[in-house]
Chains A and B, each alone.
Chain A
Amino acid sequence: MCDQTFVAATFGPCDSCGTASPLMNIYIKNEPINYCSFCMEVMACQGLQKGETLATLKKECESLKKKLEEDRGKLNDVELHQVAEKVEVVGALSIKTRRVLKGHTNKVLCMDWCKDKRRLVSSSQDGKVIVWDGFTLNKEHGMSMPTTWVMACAYAPSGCAVACGGLDNKCSVIPLSLDSNENCAAKKKTVAMHTNYISGCTFTNSDMQLLSCSGDGTSALWDVESGQLLQSFHGHTSDILSLDLAPSETGNTFVTGGCDKKANVWDMRSGQNIQSFECHESDINCVKYYPSGDAFASASDDATCRFFDLRADREVAVFQKDSIVFGASTVDFSLSGRLLFAGYNDYTINVWDVLKGTRISMMFGHENRVSRVRLSPDGTALCSASWDNTLRIWA
């Protein structure tokens, strides 16, 4: 009777501005309206309708939120760790520091691995961006940025470029060369432009597109070659501190977390905010997808890390302990998704059992806050960046 069809993102001229772009389909008084995401925002900003006051709208918002929580609660009583009772415990882990990367002269704020599994790029408050061969400890490139506090950096999938940004409100792409002596910073190209600091950036599946998030509360997708803005994403009510691209086969979504305590999931094609989670009690410093793409974890100043299942549309685990008082600033999963590595402001990295919700072990070594942890692409090592000016590689 019915055949296989698929949800296609409708595309075409916007009913309001006429430009051809991905359309969001909504209904107003049963009339379908096809607006592009920008016109949708403009419409949402257009003052109060007849009979509405700020107070009534706020009240409506609160009651809808309450109803949402109630309904979410009704859907299930089972916790993840209950389902995982039959799963065997993780054996003792012996994780040691294998490399200490020294070279930055101030806090290391961000790092990213290259797909070759051994190179990495790091950026620091000292304004420098360094490309290392983590295996040999060789510094391949050192680039100076015009401002200090380079808060975000990313390695391109091809291995031929890096992106970085920070207090300059811009995210630039720097092509790398085989010659260590060449001044790569001279070929720097500005791609993303925000109205506040850049807190995170990542390439998509190719070198041609860059996703950025900013203290101005927006994230955006850019075409690297032309610097053109392809899509912008609005919805956060405060600074966005982190973003992560979904690893799924469709690769069309990403998640952001920010100072408004919300973690939002976005559709890259239409700019739509498709899911939202507000469970943390303070700023979300980092968000990271589970390897299968069906869930994600977040790290927050409220000293907890939380785990959200996208299909169940709810928080399914909270990783916390009375003895952990300082904020968590960064998280990443191990290859199988069983382990969650979380870096904290008390200089430690805690290793959590994702299924059982318990802490397995702690990794000591840094002498100041851990600002970023990242698993290498083949899962063989974890790299941590710290305010103690160093990076460590653990395995």
Chain B
Amino acid sequence: MTIRTARPDRVQHFRPRMHCLKKLEAMVVEMQDQKSGVKGSEQKLNVTTIPHVLTGKDIIAWIANKMKTTPEEAQTFSTMLVAYGYIYPLQNHKKLVMCNDSSLYRFQTPYFWPTQKWFAEDSDYGELVKYVTTYKNHDPFLAPCLPSNPWQTDHDAYWTLNMRRVDLPTKMRVERWSFSLFELLSDLRGRDDFKIFLKKEFSGENLAFWEAAEELKWGTAASMTAKAETIFKTFLAPGAPRWINIDGRTMGLTVKGLDHPHRYVLEAAQTHVFLLMKKDTFFRYLKSPVYKDIQKKALNPEAHNFSPAQLEQNANSRSPGIHPIILWQQEEEEKAKAAAASAPVDVKAMMSKIDRKK
């Protein structure tokens, strides 16, 4: 495996193509003009109706007319629009080209245009400064740990209070959940609280799907096919018990990908669900009675104030804590219990069981 290549410098990896992308974007904006842009319409594809759809034919004709050039050049230009993601094909997702026929296309939302994140303005560094400011009080090297840093006082209360399955978390921990959905989900105790909220809203399937997708991504290669099948049956199949509501295109891509299950087959769907939770559900959670309740009840431990004699005593009686292997085994048991409780009921099996009892 010692292939050493002086890789050809495919400049597309790097940002400096701004000059040409700016021109592309100006064109894309014009194409979407209500009056003088490309004529779109509703299209029926199988059983779904897709709004604002354009045919490749129409796009190429519009560009050829606008740029006063041949259809071949217009086709090359519009292929670039597809390659850079400004327009996406509805049918053949793999080949990112513009076809001069009745193939269907749609415009990509500007949020995802390649130029959106290239300005090295103050705002870029602002992100780094903002992150530091947000987490400043949570950094044990910059602000004191409450009740105390175990390494400084030899007392492990800080770890005990912040364990995985505490009834009441600390105020600092609850505050950290509000920083981002990622923080909330990374802390399993926070995830539990989020699940309580979701249960009240009857919208637990999004998080359940996200968790299942994570299991698939990080699981063993051998388990791929079985997991993909279970996920399809539970979340994606028409009429599935925990059907998730994602847009038609993503659903189409995902279901097609499930023909060759691999660990990233759910990537598009998972990202969609995550963004949905991040932009909507997460903020409602932060305003909800569930969160406000845990904020109120959260513990605010007093700072330790050990005398030198007490510190010496602490040093001589350092607690061994619970071994991570034991904690892991406990977690696996809890997960199995939860899975059994939420598995869709097999009505047929239940019925035949009842029949046999008779």
Q: Is B321's CB under 8 angstroms from A116's CB?
A: yes
**A-contacting residues, B90-125, CB 8 Å:** 93-97, 106-112, 117-122, 124-125
**B-contacting residues, A302-321, CB 8 Å:** 309, 311-314, 316
Q: Is B222's CB under 8 angstroms from A226's CB?
A: yes
**7 nearest A-B pairs in the assembled complex, by CB-CB distance:** A159-B324, A71-B16, A76-B120, A395-B151, A336-B135, A206-B218, A336-B139
Contacting residues, chain A, for B149 (C-beta < 8 A)? 380-381, 395
- Which of A143-151, A272-280, A322-330 interfaces with chain B? A272-280
Whether A336 touches B132, Cβ cut-off 8 Å, given contacts A7-B85, A22-B264, A68-B16, is: yes
13 interchain pairs, CB-CB under 8 A = A2-B109, A5-B112, A8-B267, A65-B9, A71-B18, A74-B16, A116-B327, A217-B4, A292-B128, A294-B128, A378-B162, A380-B151, A395-B140
Whether A313 touches B132, Cβ cut-off 8 Å, given contacts A90-B142, A178-B323, A226-B220, is: no
Report the minimum CB–CB distance from A273 to chain B (whole Å): 7
Partner of B8, one of A9, A44, A133: A44
Partner of B106, one of A3, A23, A226: A3
- Which of A102-110, A228-236, A281-289, A342-350 interfaces with chain B? A228-236
Assess whether B11 is interfacial by the CB under 8 Å rule.
yes
Q: Is A336's CB under 8 angstroms from B221's CB?
A: no
Q: Is the interface of A mostly helix, strand, loop or mixed?
A: loop
Q: Is B16's CB under 8 angstroms from A78's CB?
A: no
Assess whether A114 is interfacial by the CB under 8 Å rule.
yes
Contacting residues, chain B, for A216 (C-beta < 8 A)? 1-2
Contacting residues, chain B, for A3 (C-beta < 8 A)? 106, 109, 247
Q: Is B7's CB under 8 angstroms from A273's CB?
A: yes
Q: Is B128's CB under 8 angstroms from A80's CB?
A: yes
Contacting residues, chain A, for B52 (C-beta < 8 A)? 1-2
Interface residues of B (CB under 8 A from A): 1-11, 13-16, 18, 32, 40, 52, 76, 79, 83, 85, 88, 93-97, 106-112, 117-122, 124-129, 131-136, 138-142, 145, 149-152, 156, 158-159, 162, 180-182, 214, 217-222, 247, 249-250, 253, 257, 260, 262-265, 267-268, 271-272, 274-275, 318-321, 323-328
Closest to B215 in A: A206
Closest to B276 in A: A4
Contacting residues, chain A, for B94 (C-beta < 8 A)? 10, 12, 23, 34
Whether A249 touches B220, Cβ cut-off 8 Å, given contacts A95-B141, A216-B1, is: no
Q: Is A4's CB under 8 angstroms from B150's CB?
A: no
Interface residues of A (CB under 8 A from B): 1-12, 20-23, 25-27, 30, 32, 34, 41, 44-45, 57, 60-61, 64-65, 67-68, 71-72, 74-76, 78, 80, 83-84, 87, 90-91, 93, 95, 98-99, 114-119, 133, 135-136, 138, 158-160, 176-178, 194-196, 204-206, 208-209, 216-218, 220, 223-226, 228, 230, 232, 234-237, 248-250, 269, 273-276, 290-292, 294-295, 309, 311-314, 316, 334-339, 354-355, 378-381, 393, 395
